[in-house]
């Protein structure tokens, strides 16, 4: 059966078996499309799974009345799904500090736009965030580069390796009472990422949520003595990673 016949049967019945036939018949199309993404660091099996999800989406949305061949339509949908997946994966792999700084830039930009009834200038953003203009550009340009490549041409292997923000470009403009400068927060977030999941949870509850050791013990189902002992270990490790005393 042709793709058109298989799709007609699927759209008529909505049968999962009919959809499976469409998917099986178009595996060659997926393998051909995946050749464009040979630069990706993910396993071929993972990318093939994403491609199959795109193929299912194409089968569900396909409208033969528009006069486009299913193979052409499906290729475009699968290609888009793969690009979006790789974009999201690359963004997720960014260090914690990059994601936090970008989220803060996005949040403050929206707040200022609402307050000023216009987009803020770079200088206004920098003053409000207490982050130097070069640092803001370093982070926002990274996200722009990733977005651009996800929508147009894929990364080369060299570009993929350099898809990271330079933390040395990000600095606070001024000191603020009871607030760590952004460069110190970057150092802290990088150190936190190197702790165990349990240690990160412990630090978060004790120092970010400001719970007592008794409250943390209840939250984690541990004794207060255990919490005290493990928090000392976590802070010692964090201090070693940061090269100075913290908290």
| CA distances, 182 to each of 96, 129, 156, 164, 191 (Å) | 13, 9, 31, 17, 14
Determine which helix (DSSP H) or strand (DSSP E) holds 62, and give its type and residue range: none
The rounded distance, in Å, linking the Cα atoms of 231 and 127 is 36
Residue 165: is its pLDDT beyond 90?
A: no
CA-to-CA distance for 191 and 189, rounded, in angstroms? 5
Which pLDDT does position 239 carry in this prediction? 87
CA–CA distance, 140 with 149 (Å, rounded to integer): 14
Q: What is the pLDDT of residues 69-86, one digit of tens each?
A: 999 999 999 999 998 888
User: CATH topology for 194-242?
Assistant: Arc Repressor Mutant, subunit A (1.10.10)
DSSP string, 22-60: HHHHTHHHHHHHHGGGTT-SS-HHHHHHHHHHHHHHHHH
More confident residue, 211 or 29: 29
Give CA–CA dist 32/75, Å, rounded.
Answer: 9
Count CA within 13 A, CB hemisphere, residue 159.
12
pLDDT at 35 over 60: yes
Q: What percent of the chain has pLDDT over 90?
A: 48
Q: What is the CATH number of domain 3-92?
A: 1.20.120.1810
Q: Is residue 178 pLDDT above 60, yes or no? A: no
Closest CA to 39 of 1, 81, 70, 83: 83
Q: What is the pLDDT of residue 177?
A: 58
Q: 211 has which bridge partners?
A: none
- Sequence ranges of the domains in the chain: 3-92, 96-169, 194-242
- pLDDT tens readout for residues 103-124: 999 999 999 999 999 999 999 9
- pLDDT at residue 38, rounded to an integer: 83
| Averaged pLDDT score across all residues of the chain | 87
Residue scoring higher pLDDT (47 or 163): 47
| Structure confidence by residue, pLDDT tens digits, 117-163 | 999 999 999 999 999 999 999 999 888 878 766 665 556 556 555 56
38-52, 95-109, 175-189, 210-224: the lowest-pLDDT one: 175-189
């Amino acid at each position: 059966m042709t793709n058109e016949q298989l799709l007609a049967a699927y759209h008529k019945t909505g049968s999962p078996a009919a959809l499976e036939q469409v998917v099986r018949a178009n595996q060659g199309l997926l393998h051909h499309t995946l050749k464009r993404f040979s630069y990706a660091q993910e396993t071929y099996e993972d990318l093939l799974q994403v491609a199959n999800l795109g193929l299912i989406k194409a089968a569900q949305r396909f409208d033969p009345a528009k006069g486009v061949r299913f193979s052409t339509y499906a290729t475009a949908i699968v290609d888009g799904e793969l690009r979006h997946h790789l974009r999201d994966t690359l963004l997720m792999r960014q260090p914690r500090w990059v994601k936090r700084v970008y989220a803060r830039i996005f949040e403050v930009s929206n707040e200022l736009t609402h307050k000023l009834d216009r987009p803020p200038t770079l200088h206004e953003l920098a003053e409000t965030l207490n982050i130097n203009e070069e640092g803001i550009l370093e982070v926002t340009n990274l996200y722009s580069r990733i977005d651009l490549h996800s929508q147009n041409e894929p990364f080369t292997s060299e570009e993929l390796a350099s898809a990271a923000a330079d933390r040395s470009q990000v600095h606070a403009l001024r000191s603020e009472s009871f607030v760590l400068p952004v460069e110190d927060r970057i150092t802290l977030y990088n150190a936190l990422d190197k702790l165990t999941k349990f240690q990160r949870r412990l630090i978060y509850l004790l120092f970010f949520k400001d719970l007592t050791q008794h409250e943390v013990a209840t939250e984690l189902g541990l004794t207060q003595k255990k919490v005290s002992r493990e928090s000392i270990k976590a802070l010692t490790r964090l201090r070693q990673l940061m090269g100075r005393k913290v908290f």
